[in-house]
A and B are shown apart, each in its own frame.
Chain A
Amino acid sequence: MSVRVFVPRDTTALSLGADAVATGLEREAERRGLELTVVRNGSRGLAWLEPLVEVETPAGRVAYGPVTPADVPSLLDEGLLEGRDGHALAQGPTESIPYLARQQRLTFARIGVTDPLSVDDYKAHDGFRGLEAALALEPQDIVEEVKASGLRGRGGAAFPTGIKWQTVLDTPADQKYIVCNADEGDSGTFADRLIMECDPYVLIEGMAIAGLAVNATQGYIYLRSEYPLAKEILDDAIARAEAAGYLGDDLQGSGRAFHLEVRLGAGAYICGEETSLLESLEGKRGLVRFKPPLPAIEGLFGRPTVVNNVLSLAAVPFILAEGAQAYANHGMGRSRGTLALQLAGNVQRGGLVELAFGTTLRTLMEEFGGGTASGRPLRAVQVGGPLCAYLPENQWDMPLDYETFAEVGAGVGHGGVVMFDDSVDMAEQARFSMEFCKVESCGKCTPCRIGSTRGVEVIDRIRANENRDANLELLGELCETMEDGSLCAMGGMTPFPVQSALKYFPDDFQRAPEGDRS
């Protein structure tokens, strides 16, 4: 019988040569007359082990990684197909790898396990049970279930998802929409990408449930153009879900309709902001809208619209399948369920870590991450994306929970954790925050559009030791103006990384920059 060998095909595995490994395995097996079937699964999210090759054995799946094409002959020599343990790259049973075994995977339970495009595989692993449960419920009952789960938007703003859905359900209209914000632009985040590339049906199912909950028949996934593979996989998955009756005019014979389409963004960070995203979907420049009206009342094409992040929507099938309480049992305080943390930057063992709220950054960075990749001391960590604060060591023991982080002016955001070693120049990082805002501002409001340009200039003067004290004071005032006067979070939060760098790493603003910056 042919042995099944799994070689992931998510962006990270491919970026490290997974295609060549898959081809190498097939060729080498053929040369040796071995029976082997390569399955292209999703990634388990253990990025430092990618490409992580798994083999199916009677005792379960056994992992080897990180595998290069050159390792293939020796892996076969040393019993890869029997799942033997001798090779230097052997990781043992996949599910027992501590990094994975210690996680609490609810939303990501299936990633890396299944063939992302196989509907049968998805169903064999509890897929579409949430949608089937939702089809037997009234819209209000679905909304109640989501409310009871305590789910809050995982895109960063942390607004209760059930409340948003209630508003859309309560607003009468001839047409309503579900919009998935898949514009995952924050540096250090890749959880949305993993869902879309490795378990696309969980997002499709979550969106269909949202449609049933608020009586919306059309959904759009607004996907960033930087994710070409996710586009390919989602388009394919949508076609297959339609063919299997999980999307379309008549969901599983219920008479209820839900249609779904992927729309590509075009390289604009601001389009991750929900009102800019809606403008972009309407075919316009992605300029921020004034709120109110809320998108839940007047959203896409002026109609009531649920705008949720990929992870929020992907959490919904579990809630409907297992019940709100099963989800709410995880977490702490008002942060219920699990958080998809993404360990990135200068980290030895980067990847996806799904845990209930309440863990600490130190646990994450040391026990999961294993410290820095460079081996140098860790100095700063930016949590929640480019608009969130840089945290120094004395803040690494706070529990990860929306309220605790907000109290110290930090954010959980979309769960990105970017680690920096002691070679980082925090004045340079502060400058970059302003420069990023300058490049990506939509331009609608003055504090963000002009403030970011002036911010770069002031930081340059500080670093050049030009009237340093006066310019530091000016930078403080500029940050206040941007924070208080900007129309949306882009300009309003750009000061956070800058202010945190000034507050926690003041020495870096007191020395001349090394060398010339090009």
Chain B
Amino acid sequence: MNDSREWTPQAVQAEIDALKHKPGALLPILHALQDRFDHVPEGAVPIIAESLGLTRAEVHGVISFYHHFRTSPPGRHVVQVCRAEACQARGARTLEAHAKATLGVGYHQTTADREITLEAVYCLGNCACGPSVRVDDQILGRVTPESFDALVDELRTQPLEVLG
């Protein structure tokens, strides 16, 4: 991945143009933008609206409806803790409290060092082996407070990925 994470109107337009021919193109476009820039920049809204013949309010309404889309950049890693019943039955409530206390943030917040954004998720489909946590695109099972700490430690000490 050598595309810059910094968004520009031209880069936004290129993502839109690649997808706007699809029926119901708005969600695929929003996914493409978030995949590329880690968030859907506020400045992209008028460009999307113009390109798809929608109002800005309609585009904003869609972005804000879905939990997945965010309008500001997250930390370097996104950690999602499953809050659903199957994980609750295996100690997810304790894990949630531990995660918030260890990271010093609540849900939808990013640690002061910009390393980790904490999110809640309602089911990762790993329900026979909970509690489950998703770190970026990787899902981890049977997470304990101790293994959570080890994970956070590892995320924070990983060398920066070399792009390109």
Contacts and interface: CB of A to CB of B under 8 A. Distances in A.
A188 B139 contact: no
A184 B68 CA distance: 16
B24 interface: yes
A518 B101 CA distance: 10
Contacts of A184: 123, 125
Interface string B78-91: 00000011111110
A264 B30 CA distance: 10
A345 B61 contact: no
A440 interface: yes
Contacts of B122: 185, 187, 269, 436, 439-440
A429 B134 CA distance: 23
Interface in A258-297: 263-269, 280-286
Nearest to A421: B89
Contacts of B62: 283-285
Interface string A336-355: 00000011111100110000
* Majority-rule SS of B interface residues: mixed
Contacts of A416: 86, 127
A225 interface: yes
A193 interface: yes
Nearest to B123: A187
Contact of B85 (A225, A421, A429, A440): A429
B131 to A, nearest CB: 11
Contacts of B88: 345, 429, 432
Nearest to B25: A283
A148 B58 CA distance: 45
Contacts of B125: 11, 184, 189-190, 192-193, 226-227
B129 A16 contact: yes
Interface in B1-49: 23-28, 30-31
Contacts of A342: 127-128
A386 interface: yes
Interface size band for B: 35 or more
B140 interface: yes
Chain A CB within 10 Å, residue with most, of B28, B127, B132, B142: B127
Contacts of B140: 15
A184 B89 CA distance: 19
A277 to B, nearest CB: 11
A47 interface: yes
Interface residues of A, number: 61
A351 B124 CA distance: 15
A50 interface: yes
Given A268-B67, A283-B62, A345 B139 contact: no
Nearest to B64: A285
B27 A264 contact: yes
Contacts of A439: 122
A34 interface: no
Contact of B126 (A11, A186, A283, A382): A11
Nearest to A287: B65
Contact of B134 (A50, A190, A226): A226
Nearest to A225: B68
B65 A189 contact: no
A12 B141 contact: yes
A344 B26 contact: no
Interface string A1-34: 0000000000110111000000000000000000
Given A187-B84, A226-B125, A518-B100, A16 B141 contact: yes
Contacts of B30: 266
Contact of A345 (B68, B90, B124): B90
Contacts of B31: 225, 264, 266
Contacts of B87: 187
A48 interface: yes
Contact of B86 (A11, A268, A269, A345): A345
A350 B127 contact: yes
13 contacts: A15-B132, A15-B139, A187-B84, A189-B125, A189-B127, A190-B127, A190-B128, A265-B68, A266-B69, A267-B121, A283-B24, A283-B27, A343-B128
Closest 10 CB pairs of A and B: A350-B128, A283-B26, A187-B84, A266-B66, A344-B127, A345-B89, A267-B67, A15-B141, A47-B128, A267-B68
Interface of A: 11-12, 14-16, 47-48, 50, 184-190, 192-193, 225-229, 263-269, 280-286, 301, 342-347, 350-351, 373, 382, 386, 416, 418-421, 424, 429, 432, 436, 439-440, 442, 518
Interface of B: 23-28, 30-31, 52, 58, 61-62, 65-69, 84-90, 97, 100, 121-130, 132, 134, 137-142
